[in-house]
Structures are given as structure tokens and as C-alpha cells.
Chains A and B, each alone.
Chain A
Amino acid sequence: MNNSKRAKLLRFSITFLVLSLAIFLGLMLWDNYMNSAWTRDGRVRADVVMVAPDVGGLVGRVAVVDNQFVKKGELLYQIDEERFHHALHEAQAIAQTRKSEYEMKQHQSVRRLAADDEIVSAESRDDALYDAQIAHARYEEALTQVETQKLNLDRSSIRAPCDGWVSNLLLRKGDYVDRGEKHMALITSGSFWIYGYFEEHKLSLIHIGDSAEMKMLGTKYTVKGHVESIARGISDRDNVTDGRLLANVNPIFTWVRLAQRIPVRIHIDEVPADLILSAGMTCSVSIIPTKSIPRSALKM
């Protein structure tokens, strides 16, 4: 009788022990998985300059190849410059004419001023003076035109605005480019950063200055960095402004709701030597909390 009671107690206690362990571990895992600051949704980003010509024309020469690294000021492509040479010559010729005109009017004015009242009327003397002034202004206008044409000629060579890599080069010799039309993407060197898209409830665990570790998808590489900033706004998907500027609120409100993801910008501090970082790569981001700046210190 006593023996069977003890056996019963043993049965209960073994089960209870294992069950409580399982509950404890399960809760701990839940907490670590759901409530720690990490995301599988991280992207490598970079600044891209969309290079557009300041003047339009036929592309005479493309000086770079796809994915080439260029230094600041290096020639990217050349717009056929013949037209700009002609325009410059024309402007110079006009300037020369205006200069001669100005000199003529100047002489006239000086001569008339020197003559006495019986020969030249006061009116015609005034006119000569104003004519000379007008001619001078017109000459200056022509000189500015020359400068503008020189600038146009200069801008017909499209140069790299910064160090970087030419990306997805589709421009070919013979293409016609319009002024201001974007034809070349230049990925700025050293501008790489990482956007980690964190669920909104995890944001309270992230502080500016916290160090971050990025595991690149499918590799052993770990990129190190720190939290630079947290985005202060994303668009509201349930309220897209309509054509008449009224709110367009989605009447479908779901029972199951998903946390919004807020971009957290991570500054890259350390990249493994043999890893080539490309904008658009995927990574997992884990934030290692170091309570550097208290949240209350930031303006909310």
C-alpha cells in the first residue's frame, strides 16, 4: 500500500518536473526570439548619384565600362562637342562686334562732348553718351554669352561627381541624351550603410549608438557596425490620399495584424577584407544593447 503510494508520487513528480522545465524553456525561448532586437530583414544600401548631362546632344564617346571604379572628375562620357565649338565661335564673333560698336560709340561720345554748343546740341551730346553706355552693356552681355558657351562646351564632357562605381551602364555611343535626363548611376564609394527593418515593438530595445552585427546571407562573414539613426516615419498603408486629397481609409480591418517594420540605419564600421559589399545584399541584423544614450535624451 505504502509502496504503491510512493510509486504514484514518483510518477507525478517526474512528469511535473519535466513539464515545468519544458514550460520554463519554452517561455525563455519565446522571450529571446520575439523580444530581442534582431531581424532577418536587413539590406545593404548605398548612395547612388544619378548622373545627368547639363547639355543635350549626341553621345560621341563613352569613356567607362560597366562596373568600373572612377575617381572624382574622371570623364564618364562625352557629348559631341562640335555644336558647342560653333556656338562659342559665334558668341566670340558677336562679342567682337559689340566691342567695336562700343568703341565707336565711345569715340563719338567723347568727340561730341569736346565740341562746343554751337556745333552739337545738348540733346545729341546726351544721346551719344547714352548710346555709348548702352553699347557697353551690350558688349558685357556678349561677353557673358561667351562664358556661357565656354561652360556649355566644358559641360559636354560629363565627369564623375564623386569617387564611385559605374553601375548598370546602358549608355552607348550614338545615343541622344537630353539635358537633365538621367543616364548613368554612380554608386558612391564609402557610402554603404545597412537598413535593418525592425518590427515596431522591438524599437524600444534599440538605442542610437548600440553596436550591431550583420550576418551576410549564406556566408560566414560578419559585418560590424553601430546604430546611426532610427527612421521617424513610414507611410500609412491604410490611408492613401485619393485624387481629391481626401483620406482613403481602408475599411478592411483584419483580426490578425502584422507589426509594421521601421527602418533602422546602421553605420558600417568594419567589413571583412575579402567581402565585396554590394548595395541590395541581404543580411540578418542583431543589435547588441549598450545603454549609451538614454532614450529620454532624444527628442521624441
Chain B
Amino acid sequence: MQLDITLFGIQMPTLLLIFVMSAVVQILLDRMMSDAGIYNHVWHPGLFRTAVFVCLFAIPCLLIYR
């Protein structure tokens, strides 16, 4: 996997792209989880959601920066 991506001749770290993508996934996941009522079973929804986002972001990044 590339460490950098190039958009219109601008080089940027792949992390940036992953960040945007994981944000989209997070929004979808958030909607699904609130529909399923999972947030009723967690202690602190805000903290839980942040933690989920960190996981979503870190896992693909770790695949690149091994």
C-alpha cells in the first residue's frame, strides 16, 4: 500500500484519506447502532463513539504503517 496518495499533483499522506473514509463509516455505523439500541447498553455513549472511531481509523492505518 502507498504511504502517500496523489490528488491533482498534490502529495498527501494516506492517513488523510483514511481519516475521511473512517469518518463516513463512523457516521453510518453510528446510525445503525443507535437504531439497534446499542447505546442503551453502554455506559457513556460519547466516550464509546470516540473509541469506536479511533479503532476504525487506527486499524486500516496500521495495515499501511506496519
A residues within 8 Å of B by Cβ? Answer: 7, 10-12, 14-16, 18-19, 21-23, 25-26, 28-29, 32-33, 36, 38, 40, 215, 217-218, 282, 284, 286
Which of A22, A28, A215, A217 has the most CB atoms of chain B within a 10 A radius of its CB? A22
B residues within 8 Å of A by Cβ? Answer: 2-4, 6, 9, 11, 13, 15, 41-44, 47-48, 50-52, 54-55, 57-59, 61-62, 65-66
Cβ B43 vs Cβ A12 within 8 A: yes
Cβ B62 vs Cβ A21 within 8 A: no
How many residue pairs, one in A and one in B, have C-beta atoms under 8 Å apart? 74
Cβ B11 vs Cβ A19 within 8 A: no
B15 CB to nearest chain A CB (Å) = 8
Cβ B58 vs Cβ A22 within 8 A: yes
Look across to chain B and name the residue whose beta carbon is closest to the beta carbon of A13.
B43
B43 — which chain A residues lie within 8 A by C-beta?
Answer: 11-12, 14-16
- Could you show 24 A-B contacts with beta carbons less than 8 Å apart? A11-B41, A12-B43, A14-B42, A15-B42, A15-B44, A15-B47, A15-B48, A15-B51, A18-B48, A18-B51, A19-B47, A19-B51, A21-B55, A22-B52, A22-B58, A25-B62, A26-B54, A28-B58, A28-B62, A29-B58, A36-B65, A40-B4, A217-B6, A284-B4
Cβ A29 vs Cβ B65 within 8 A: yes
Cβ A22 vs Cβ B55 within 8 A: yes
Cβ A284 vs Cβ B65 within 8 A: no
B3 — which chain A residues lie within 8 A by C-beta?
Answer: 38, 40, 215, 284, 286
B55 — which chain A residues lie within 8 A by C-beta?
Answer: 18, 21-22, 25
B62 interface neighbour in A10, A29, A217, Cβ under 8 Å: A29
B4 CB to nearest chain A CB (Å) = 5
Bound Cα distance from A212 to B6, whole angstroms: 21
Which of B2, B52, B54, B59 has the most CB atoms of chain A within a 10 A radius of its CB? B54
B22 CB to nearest chain A CB (Å) = 12
Cβ A14 vs Cβ B65 within 8 A: no
Look across to chain B and name the residue whose beta carbon is closest to the beta carbon of A40.
B4
Bound Cα distance from A32 to B58, whole angstroms: 11
Bound Cα distance from A68 to B16, whole angstroms: 41
- With A18-B48, A21-B51 as contacts: A26 and B4 at CB distance below 8 Å: no
Which of A21, A26, A29, A36 has the most CB atoms of chain B within a 10 A radius of its CB? A29
A10 CB to nearest chain B CB (Å) = 6
Bound Cα distance from A230 to B54, whole angstroms: 36
Look across to chain B and name the residue whose beta carbon is closest to the beta carbon of A8.
B43
Cβ B58 vs Cβ A25 within 8 A: yes
A22 interface neighbour in B42, B44, B54, B66, Cβ under 8 Å: B54
Bound Cα distance from A19 to B54, whole angstroms: 9
Look across to chain A and name the residue whose beta carbon is closest to the beta carbon of B40.
A11
